[in-house]
Amino acid sequence: QIFFITPTKFRAEQKADLTRLGQTLAHIPNLFWIIVEDADEPSEMPTKLLERLKFTSSVHIVARTPPEIRRNESDPNWKFPRGVAQRNAALEYLRTNHRSFKKSVVYFGDDDNVYDWRIFDEMRRIEKVGVWPVGIVGGTIVETPILAPNGTTVINFTSIWKPERPFPIDMAAFAVNLALIVENPTAEFSNHVPRGYQESHFLESLGLKRSDLEPKADFCTKIYVWHTRTENTKLLKRDRQRLQNPESLNLIEKDAIL
Amino acid sequence: QIFFITPTKFRAEQKADLTRLGQTLAHIPNLFWIIVEDADEPSEMPTKLLERLKFTSSVHIVARTPPEIRRNESDPNWKFPRGVAQRNAALEYLRTNHRSFKKSVVYFGDDDNVYDWRIFDEMRRIEKVGVWPVGIVGGTIVETPILAPNGTTVINFTSIWKPERPFPIDMAAFAVNLALIVENPTAEFSNHVPRGYQESHFLESLGLKRSDLEPKADFCTKIYVWHTRTENTKLLKRDRQRLQNPESLNLIEKDAIL
Ligand SMILES: O=c1ccn([C@@H]2O[C@H](COP(=O)(O)OP(=O)(O)O)[C@@H](O)[C@H]2O)c(=O)[nH]1
Ligand SMILES: O=c1ccn([C@@H]2O[C@H](COP(=O)(O)OP(=O)(O)O)[C@@H](O)[C@H]2O)c(=O)[nH]1
Ligand SMILES: [Mn+2]
Ligand SMILES: [Mn+2]
């Protein structure tokens, strides 16, 4: 079983992004989709999407980012981490409801990245933590682990940004065995680590070391995931304001975004 | 048969976008994908993608945008139209190779939009030209045709930008019967019409009037397509320059974008 965890927050493009992602995931065998809405109450849209696409293995939960951490609309380079409360809620959900699932992996899949279907096959044989390259991320064309000549040990990384991090890799670059999450009940993400240290903090809290990394994607030579971003649409002032209060929208506008 | 025409141009996110779109289209019944690369020579990537996803009904052709029309990297609001040469090449391809296909429709599907699978069912019963709403486009949450109380005639449009256009709708808002394209051999897109007039110019060159529009998507009440855009990645200077000369990239970087 692959547990695919998607934090997701309200914005004009959210429904479009989730629809596209859901269609990507719908026919992956043994995939369990965990949608974690950044909201106080679950909204109808993700639930209806899961139903429509016939996800039998799925759940829709909520976890609100605390107000002081929440991203400001006007700040594209918001310095607080994104998705922390949501990913932690998913970890708790797994510990409570799926503790006994053997041979399962957990992957954090944002709503706007691109996933080649082949990435999911790479996740099916992971002992502790699998790792692979990610396309267009960190200001570079590729970030990838570098392997020793034996082809099985990760000895370094190509990341240019903060290469001194214990694990200088993106959230999309790894998947971990569910057993590790159950055995390390306090492992989690944190709003109080420096920028770029989420992945390192989480992997260290699982007791992992660099030597535990298992290279996948044909010995880290293939790109099966890209850290794309969906452009924030420049809405006219009228619609930008009305979006603040979605209940004010007319029926068809609601269908576009809710 | 649905002929789905995708103009596509080289950029860091092109392979990611085409992969995601290909996976969206792969299981749509009776869909024929026409990829038109904005290039002098076809590159390997689209061909390999079509093979990998087992598109038996597909073709990969090229048509280069003339240099004076080609978009400048640094200009996000480039005033020349996009995809004109490519869409015209696809029309020629259809007239030459598929003239006798009865009951087929032609749809223009950009590589970075979001297509709900349900849009394809709406295209299967079109006499002349089907039309439907589009999400997040033209600075607004929705652009949609407005229907008369009878529910079958389009009497107006919600577009705010240049509402005086004969057909104030987006490229993603309509599909036309292939027969019209064959019967009107000079119908095409043009680099010499004012901004926003591509759709109007093309539909008029097919001899269509507003009264020919057939409302789809549950009488234009449902959103099945969104005009999303993939953000232009801010690459570090080093990679931005190397991207200009893709042959200079190492193997894994090539796998990310070529
Ligand atoms: O306050 C926030 C910001 C982001 N996200 C989600 O967290 C993930 C990562 O956010 P984003 O894509 O904005 O990050 P980036 O692309 O900059 O890495 C996405 O699935 C978002 O929908 C969230 O739930 N709450
Ligand atoms: O010089 C160009 C510019 C764009 N395109 C393609 O034409 C379509 C529309 O372009 P774009 O998405 O940039 O337009 P917008 O989102 O601004 O409508 C896309 O599939 C592009 O890949 C192209 O083939 N050549
Ligand atoms: Mn993202
Ligand atoms: Mn586009």
- Tell me: pLDDT of A73 over 90: no
- Chain A residues closer than 8 Å to B234 by CB: 139
**pLDDT band, residue A71 (cuts 50/70/90):** low
- For ligand 1, the distance from its centroid to the CA atom of residue A212, given in whole angstroms, is 28
Q: Are A234 and B139 in contact (CB under 8 A)?
A: yes
Q: What is the mean pLDDT of residues A96-107?
A: 92
- Tell me: pLDDT of A47 over 80: yes
Handedness of CA B58, B61, B67, B68 (dihedral sign): negative
pLDDT for B72 equals: 66
Comparing CA positions, the residue from B143, B117, B159, B113 lying closest to residue B220 is B143
- Stretches where chain B sits below pLDDT 50 are none
ipTM of the complex: 0.96
User: Whose C-alpha lies nearest to ligand 2, atom 22?
Assistant: B8
pLDDT for B101 equals: 77
pLDDT for A69 equals: 75
Q: What is the mean pLDDT of residues A44-54?
A: 98
Q: What is the mean pLDDT of residues A224-253?
A: 96
DSSP 3-state of B156: strand
Query: Which sequence positions of A are flagged as catalytic?
Result: 199
User: Whose C-alpha lies nearest to ligand 1, atom 2?
Assistant: A82
| Closest approach of A94 to chain B, Cα-based (Å) | 28
Q: Could you tell me if the CB of A81 is within 6 A of ligand 1?
A: no
User: Which residues have CB under 8 Å from B122's CB, separation 6+?
Assistant: B130, B132, B216, B217, B224
Shortest-distance ligand to the CA of residue B14: 2
Asked whether the whole model's pTM tops 0.95, one would answer yes
| Closest approach of B8 to chain A, Cα-based (Å) | 17
Query: Which sequence positions of B are flagged as catalytic?
Result: 199
Q: Contact A221/B257, CB-based, under 8 Å?
A: no
The token pair at B118 is 């349900």
Q: Could you tell me if the CB of A17 is within 6 A of ligand 1?
A: no
pLDDT for B100 equals: 86
- Tell me: pLDDT of A65 over 90: yes
Residues A178-224: tens digit of each pLDDT: 999 999 999 999 999 999 999 999 999 999 999 999 999 999 999 99
Handedness of CA B193, B199, B203, B209 (dihedral sign): negative
Residues B133-171: tens digit of each pLDDT: 999 998 999 999 999 998 899 999 999 999 999 999 999
- Chain A residues closer than 8 Å to B226 by CB: 13, 15-16, 19, 256
* Closest atom, ligand 1, to C-alpha of A170: 18
- Chain A residues closer than 8 Å to B142 by CB: 252-253, 255-256
Average pLDDT, chain A: 95
- For ligand 1, the distance from its centroid to the CA atom of residue A6, given in whole angstroms, is 9
- Chain B residues closer than 8 Å to A243 by CB: 141
Residues A146-170: tens digit of each pLDDT: 999 988 999 999 999 999 999 999 9
pLDDT for A77 equals: 63
pLDDT for A76 equals: 61
Q: How many residues does chain B have?
A: 258
The token pair at B83 is 């995809």
To test the pocket of ligand 2, the residue of B24, B65, B108, B110 to mutate (highest count of ligand atoms within 8 Å of its CB) is B110
pLDDT for A74 equals: 63
Q: Could you tell me if the CB of B170 is within 6 A of ligand 2?
A: no
Residue with tokens 């004969």: B166
pLDDT for A67 equals: 84
Q: What is the mean pLDDT of residues A229-249?
A: 95
